[in-house]
Structure 1
Amino acid sequence: MKLKAGVLKNQYILLSLFAAGLLFWSSLAALLPTLPLYMEDVGATKQQIGIVLGCFAIGMLLFRSFFGRLADQRGRKIVLIIGMLVNAIAPLGYILVQSIPGLMAVRAFHGLSIAAFTTGFLALVADLAPEKNRGEIMGYMSLVTPIGTAIGPALGGYLQATSGYTLLFLLSTGLAGMGLLCLVPIVNPPIHKQNKSDSDSSKFWRLLFSPRVRVLASIMLMIGLAFGALHTFVPLFIKAARVDLNPGLFYTAGALASFSVRFFTGKASDRYGRGLFITLSLVVYAISMMLLAFATTANVFLIAGTLEGAGSGILMPMISTVIADRSLQQERGRVFSLCIMGLDFGIAIAGPIFGSVAEQVGYRNMFGFCAGLAILALLIFLTQGNKNFTDSLRFALGRGKDAYSLNQS
């Protein structure tokens, strides 16, 4: 009876967490297709738009490690609440501030929301998921991202076109406020006491250079660069190419594809291994960037968006599950935060770097470079993803186990 009660309690927590995650990503994604256009309307250049949007990742980079330690020391709920609260407050700043320095500050503050919420969300799901079907549960719980990023951009683009920016920003705040209510019933799992040596900052940063973390963080960096360019410049690229396509539909197509693949890849990874699906995701991501570089019609843009969504929809849950496999509960918040910091850093530098690239050589060459980054990430994983070249290749092709996994049952 106690076991059954514990299972039901975990299911209730996961349901509340799913609802909170859905509202969080809907709030955040409502601004994806509209913020670049908003900044262009207030007079920002392409490079300034890239810099402002890149500041979002600065907030993530500066505080990701702090929230990782906080999640391990004080529990997952506190960082979830901080993330959702920041997500509710930040959109109001876009209403009040229109100068470039002011928008940079608001955007950096907004970045705290993802640093806190995603760290707490992933760590808590990994805590509650049984080892035997961890991939399946993490895959299902990761659905909050594509559902939210499907609803948000379509709704945000519609409100911006029909009612202006003020109502759009108020909607974003309202969704996050509802998400705070969903976090109230969540209860932290027992907190494992840590040795002083385990929780100090030097130990934290040594984790980054450990073999089980380093390659995953490097892959996230490569994809973060491509992802940052995609979500900063696609609306402007569509406009510059004079293609009759609502940019929100590009993101919606990607979100729907990301949603679809997560239904089966998580469960399949429990059977066939995580490495095969990480390899597949990187191949698909590279193809999507190549298509985007040559896109001249709405259909090609939508196909590229669909493939990008499928690639990220496989990659993100698989990387998260591998991180969970390779970490203990008392260090999981820190390990998650370190790996995802690779993504944060890529997004942070993508805006200003690719803004300059777009000014010099145009959007097409910029996305061609992004395809090269995805191919580089694939080569790193194929050759360095495990203890040696042979083990790496076998793991990446689904022919061998993860040598760094703490669950070898």
Structure 2
Amino acid sequence: MINSLFAIQFLANLAPTLVLIYVPLIAQSYGAAPAKVGLVVATYHAMVFAAGLLFGRLADLRGRKNFIVLGLGLSTIAFTSHLLINDITSLFIIRAVAGFSIGIFPAALLTYAYEKNNTLGRFSAIGSLGWGIGSILAGIVAVYYRLFILAGLFYFVTFLLAIFRLQKTPAVVKQTFWDLSVIKKNWRIYLTFLLRHAGAFGIWAIYPIFLASLGANKFWIGIIYSINAFGQFLFLPLLDRYKSTKLITTGLICSIVTFVIFSLCQNHWQILPFQVLLAFAWSCLYLGTLKYLMEHNEERATAVGGFNSLMSLSGIIGPLLGGVIGTFGYRPVMLSAAVLTASSFLVFRSKN
């Protein structure tokens, strides 16, 4: 059963990466300006945000497995439906459906894994490995319709594994759906993460285009993304033993340094080594925040669902911000991310 869990985590992170990297380029190919590219990305994350809040809470109230199966099944349909994209409108609609589908299962899957083996670093690392291999595969295949088919197939495999290999889980808490105590309890941690990640998503919304402007082709864009992912795969298991608060602090400081350096790079070769620093920064911040929420909350799926939704809310705010600032050039987007991360560091230090 543990092997099936890791297989689901691996494939569920590999599949969307095949598509995610190229969404800004697809939007641009249909004539979308930077602001509209940001809006496409923001629409996707708005739907992940809504689904994460709703189904994270339901996973505590109704059990984990049902929502893992539901999310993976709908993701199979949604990502296969990318074959129907033929203009900017269909891209908006299908990415919105994909966002909602992919937002259903992560909180339930993470808490299911935590409660079975209590090793967040290793489980998260497997997800990063999936993302890394997905990035390389996307760069090698580099044909949109083939990537859409592969993404749908990989999700279908996870759907079957979830149905037949995961155990039924009972409800964890008996509360009303609208109980807001988890949000009130964790709001500083949530705000810290939101500010940093909004800045980061401002970068990621235009990052493939930025890399292309520095001379990277599709293959090297995939390689650059994969360095981040494989770095996380190496770092996450090693960081599991450290205190959550130390991890968060380290992640924020390293993020500030990384974003400033990105603004100074003149070609895509210079980006390569600092993708490793980015991987270390994200590994510290992500694992530290996840550990903190798991350790301090009984309603783990609700807390993690809120955390995942914050990542998606960042994916709404950041691309919109990046789209606007991007009209003045790509480098100001990097510097604005550094400023937002510095603000998040101050919020976090005020708690501790």
* Both structures adopt the same fold (TM-score exceeding 0.5): yes
Question: C-alpha separation between the residues in 1 aligned to 2:216 and 2:129?
Answer: 26
- Equivalent residue for 1:405? none
- The answer to whether residue 109 in structure 2 is matched with residue 121 in structure 1 is yes
1:155 to partner: Cα distance: 0.6
Q: Distance in 2 between matches of 1:54 and 1:192?
A: 32
| 2:193 aligned partner | 220
Which of 342, 357, 363 is matched with 2:310 structurally?
342
Whole-angstrom CA distance in 2 between matches of 1:256 and 1:193 = 36
**Is residue 59–residue 171 contact of structure 2 (8 Å, CA) maintained in 1?**
no
1:231 positional shift: 2.5
RMSD of the TM alignment (CA)? 1.7
* Structure 1 residues 240 and 299, CA gap change in structure 2 (3 angstroms): closer
SS of the equivalent of 2:165 reads coil
Shift of 1:352: 2.0
Q: Partner residue of 2:214?
A: 241
Are the structure 2 counterparts of residues 200 and 75 from structure 1 closer, same or farther at C-alpha, using a change threshold of 3 Å? Answer: closer
2:43 match: 55
User: Which of the numbers 364, 373, 376 marks the counterpart of 2:331?
Assistant: 364
CA distance in 1, matches of 2:293, 2:302: 11
Letter in 2 for 1:187: Q
Question: Do 1:323 and 1:335's aligned partners in 2 also have CA atoms closer than 8 Å?
Answer: yes
Instruction: Give distance in 1, aligned partners of 2:100 and 2:334.
Output: 28
Is the 1:27–1:171 Cα contact (8 Å) retained in structure 2?
A: yes
Residue 209 (1) aligns with residue 184 (2): yes
Task: Give the Cα–Cα distance (whole angstroms) in 2 for the partners of residues 230 and 22 of structure 1.
Answer: 25
- Normalization by structure 2: what TM-score? 0.94
Match of 2:232 in 1: 258
Partner of 1:177: 156
Equivalent AA in structure 1 for residue 161 of structure 2:
C
> How far apart are the structure 1 equivalents of 2:141 and 2:86?
19
Deviates more, 1:182-191 or 1:291-300: 182-191
Which runs of 5 or more structure 2 residues have no equivalent in the other structure? Answer: none
Tell me how far 1:193 sits from its aligned partner: 5.2
Q: CA deviation at 1:296?
A: 0.9
* 2:167 alignment counterpart: 187
1:34 aligns with 2:13: no
Aligned residues: 350
Quickly say closer, same or farther: Cα 1:102–1:187, change in 2 above 3 A: same
For residues 72-87 of structure 1, the aligned pairs below 5 Å read 72-87=60-75
CA deviations over 1:12-56 (Å, ceiling 9, x no partner): 3x3211100100110011123222222222222221111111111
Task: State whether residues 224 and 345 of structure 1, in contact with CA within 8 Å, keep that contact through their aligned partners in structure 2.
Answer: no
Q: Which amino acid aligns with 2:318?
A: A
1:357 deviates by 0.9
Counterpart contact for 2:203–2:333, Cα < 8 Å: no
Call closer, same or farther: CA 1:193–1:311 in 2, change over 3 Å: closer
Matched to 1:93, the amino acid is S
Point out 4+ residue stretches in structure 1 off by more than 4 angstroms: none
1:345 Cα deviation (Å)? Answer: 0.8
Q: Note the alpha carbon deviations across 1:267-320, whole angstroms, 9 max, x for none.
A: x22xxx221111111111111111111111223211232211211122212211
Is residue 2:120 matched to residue 1:138? yes
Give the Cα–Cα distance (whole angstroms) in 1 for the partners of residues 21 and 309 of structure 2: 24
Secondary structure of residue in 1 paired with 2:20: coil
TM-score, normalised to structure 1, is 0.81
Structure-2 separation of matches of 1:138 and 1:323: 12
Residue aligning to 2:301: 333
- Using the aligned pairs only, state the percent identity: 21
